[in-house]
Every structure is written in structure tokens, then in C-alpha cells.
């Protein structure tokens, strides 16, 4: 009796990529349209996987170019634009043989994918550092200088000292080690992409916590950015302690 198509579908969906070719051979002579349709889907899955492997290899080109360095650290920040909350910087040193797929600019990933990758990065990274600059500090020294401070803090919190920094677009003042600024680096370097994910997930989780303390502003959904509901709440209720006073003068008195 022929195996049910539903059973074959489940086998193909559950199989690891490297197991699929053997299953293709097993069902090659099964002429049922449903079986062949499932095999076609599985072959598309292989093609998508191979495309991602190639993209990830391309994402490692800067790491290969500077392979003579022992500990290459990617640096990125999240939260320069919001009206509320801190700016958060991430510093990540990945292993030389890093095999993490799907890393990208955190803004190009879904929240679910960022959360999944955050856990993988935290598990596999050689070292991870995080730096923060508060709204008060942002108001005091401006967002750019506050971002630099957060980046220096993130580097300083690494358990391993890097000998090269790959930065998303900027050169950080007050840092002695060699730096390579890369425009749109979070989409061009696997190390910077990893740093952007770690920083983004960390900041988003903070903003969800702040939403519980200051619920009228919708921080859980807008993460402190200038969404319409956030601005309307600012106009109605005024600022809370985590608002950046220098960012909200158009919307309310500070």
C-alpha cells in the first residue's frame, strides 16, 4: 500500500536540508501529483537555503579581508531617532568560523527572527558588550556624543579585547584600536549585523518594560519613536522621565 501523501509531506518538512536528497531518491518513482508537488516544495527549500548560505558568505567579506586580526568586533547602535528611551550600542566578536545564517541589518528582520538570532548570537559569540546612554545624557551632550559614549561602554564591557573594530558608518573618538567605518555596515558585515540585532533586541525589551511604568505612550509598540499615538499622548499628558527633552520641544512644553 502506497504511503499517504500527508505522511510524505511530514517527512519532507521535518527532514534536515542534508537529509532531503535521500528522500527525493526514495520517492522519485512515486508519480502521484501530490507527492511530486511536495518534492518540488522541498527542492525550493534547498534552493533558498543555498541562497542564504551564499549571502552569509558575502556578509563575511570584511571579516575575511581582515582575517589577520585575532578578534574582530562589530559595533552598531540602536535608538538615535526616538523621542524617548536610551540609545543602546552593541559590540559583538563572532568566532572565525561563524556559521550563523540570516544575520542582517536588524531593521530588515521581523521581531520574531531578531529574537531567535539574539539567542543564537549570545550563545555562539566569543564576546558581547552593551552600552547605554540615558535620555538625560542625550540631552546633556547631544545624541551623537551620547552614541559614541554608549559605543565606548559596549567595547569596554567585552570580556575579550578586540584588535579591530568594524563600525556602522562612524569612527568612534577616544578609541585607540584600529577602526574600519563601513557605510550601511549592518547589512554588509556579519559582525556589525550581529551587533545591530543584539542592540535592537536589548532596547526593544527595555521599551516594553518602560511601557509597564508609563503605559499612556504606547512604548511597547512604538519603542519611543514618534508614532501618531505617541505624539498625541505627549500633547495630552506631557513628557515622562524617559523622554528626551531636546527631542520633543515641537510637541509639548518641557
Report the 3 state secondary structure along the chain: CCCCHHHHHHHHHHCCHHHHHHHHHHCCCCCCHHHHHHHHHHHHHHHHHHHHHHHHHHHCHHHHHCCCCCCEEEEEEECCCCCECCEEEEEEECCCCCCCCCCCCHHHCCHHHHHHHHHHHHHHCCEEEEEEECHHHHHHHCHHHHHHHHHHHHHHCCCCCCCEEEEECCCCCCCCCEEEEECCHHHCCHHHHHHHHHHHHHHHHHHHHHHHHCHHHCHHHHCCCCCHHHHHHHHHHCCCCCECHHHCCCCCCC
| Range with the poorest average pLDDT among 24-28, 79-83, 91-95, 100-104 | 24-28
Report the pLDDT value the prediction gives residue 120, as an integer from 0 to 100. Answer: 98
Residue 225 in this model has a pLDDT that exceeds 80: yes
Q: Which one of 14, 41, 59 terminates a domain? A: 59
- How many domains is the chain built from? 2
Q: Are residues 180 and 74 in the same domain?
A: yes
Q: Are residues 106 and 148 in the same domain?
A: yes
Q: Look at residue 254 and tell me if it is in a domain.
A: no
Q: Are residues 178 and 101 in the same domain?
A: yes
**What is the sign, positive or negative, of the torsion defined by CA atoms of 182, 186, 187, 190?**
positive
Q: Are residues 139 and 16 in the same domain?
A: no
Residue of higher predicted confidence among 181 and 6: 181
Q: Are residues 85 and 156 in the same domain?
A: yes
Q: Look at residue 226 and tell me if it is in a domain.
A: no
Q: Are residues 40 and 91 in the same domain?
A: no
Q: Which one of 21, 37, 59 terminates a domain? A: 59
Q: Look at residue 30 and tell me if it is in a domain.
A: yes
Contacts 24+ apart (CB under 8 A), 210-214: 210/84, 210/85, 210/242, 214/240, 214/241, 214/242
Q: How confident is the model at residue 1 (pLDDT cuts 50, 70, 90)?
A: low
Domain limits for position 102: 68-209
State the CATH number of the domain containing residue 204.
3.30.420.10
Q: Look at residue 124 and tell me if it is in a domain.
A: yes
Residue 48 class from Cβ within 10 Å (0-12 exposed, 13-18 middle, 19+ buried)?
exposed
Residue 84 in this model has a pLDDT that exceeds 70: yes
Q: Are residues 181 and 105 in the same domain?
A: yes
State the pTM of this model: 0.90
> What are the pLDDT digits (tens) for 96-132?
989 899 999 898 999 999 999 999 999 999 999 999 9
Report the pLDDT value the prediction gives residue 160, as an integer from 0 to 100. Answer: 97
Mean pLDDT of 180-200: 96
| Cell reading at 173 | 573618538
Q: Dihedral through CA 62, CA 66, CA 69, CA 70, nearest 10? A: 40
Q: Are residues 128 and 155 in the same domain?
A: yes
Q: Look at residue 83 and tell me if it is in a domain.
A: yes
Q: Are residues 72 and 54 in the same domain?
A: no
Q: Are residues 103 and 84 in the same domain?
A: yes
Q: How confident is the model at residue 231 (pLDDT cuts 50, 70, 90)?
A: very high
Mean pLDDT of 58-72: 96
Average pLDDT score over the chain: 95
Q: Are residues 82 and 205 in the same domain?
A: yes
Q: Look at residue 128 and tell me if it is in a domain.
A: yes
Q: Look at residue 214 and tell me if it is in a domain.
A: no
Report the pLDDT value the prediction gives residue 220, as an integer from 0 to 100. Answer: 98
Q: Are residues 11 and 83 in the same domain?
A: no
Q: Look at residue 229 and tell me if it is in a domain.
A: no
Q: How confident is the model at residue 252 (pLDDT cuts 50, 70, 90)?
A: confident
Report the pLDDT value the prediction gives residue 121, as an integer from 0 to 100. Answer: 98
Amino acid at each position: 500500500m502506497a504511503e499517504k501523501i500527508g505522511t510524505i509531506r511530514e517527512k519532507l518538512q521535518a527532514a534536515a536540508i542534508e537529509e532531503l536528497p535521500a528522500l527525493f531518491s526514495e520517492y522519485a518513482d512515486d508519480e502521484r501529483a501530490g507527492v511530486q508537488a511536495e518534492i518540488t516544495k522541498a527542492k525550493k527549500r534547498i534552493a533558498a537555503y543555498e541562497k542564504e548560505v551564499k549571502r552569509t558568505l558575502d556578509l563575511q567579506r570584511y571579516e575575511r579581508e581582515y582575517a589577520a586580526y585575532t578578534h574582530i568586533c562589530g559595533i552598531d547602535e540602536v535608538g538615535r531617532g526616538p523621542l524617548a528611551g536610551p540609545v543602546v550600542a552593541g559590540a559583538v566578536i563572532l568566532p572565525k568560523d561563524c556559521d550563523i545564517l540570516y544575520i542582517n541589518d536588524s531593521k530588515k528582520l521581523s521581531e520574531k527572527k531578531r529574537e531567535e538570532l539574539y539567542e543564537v548570537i549570545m550563545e555562539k559569540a566569543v564576546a558581547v558588550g552593551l552600552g547605554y546612554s540615558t535620555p538625560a545624557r542625550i540631552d546633556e551632550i547631544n545624541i551623537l556624543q551620547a552614541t559614541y559614549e554608549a559605543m565606548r561602554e559596549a567595547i569596554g564591557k567585552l570580556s575579550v579585547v578586540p584588535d579591530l573594530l568594524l563600525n556602522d558608518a562612524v569612527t568612534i573618538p577616544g578609541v585607540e584600536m584600529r577602526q574600519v567605518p563601513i557605510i550601511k555596515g549592518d547589512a554588509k558585515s556579519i559582525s556589525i549585523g550581529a551587533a545591530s540585532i543584539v542592540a535592537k533586541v536589548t532596547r526593544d525589551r527595555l521599551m516594553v518594560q518602560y511601557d509597564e511604568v508609563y503605559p499612556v505612550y504606547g512604548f511597547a509598540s512604538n519603542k519611543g519613536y514618534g508614532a501618531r499615538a505617541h505624539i498625541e499622548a505627549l500633547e495630552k499628558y506631557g513628557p515622562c522621565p524617559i523622554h528626551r527633552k531636546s527631542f520633543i520641544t515641537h510637541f509639548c512644553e518641557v
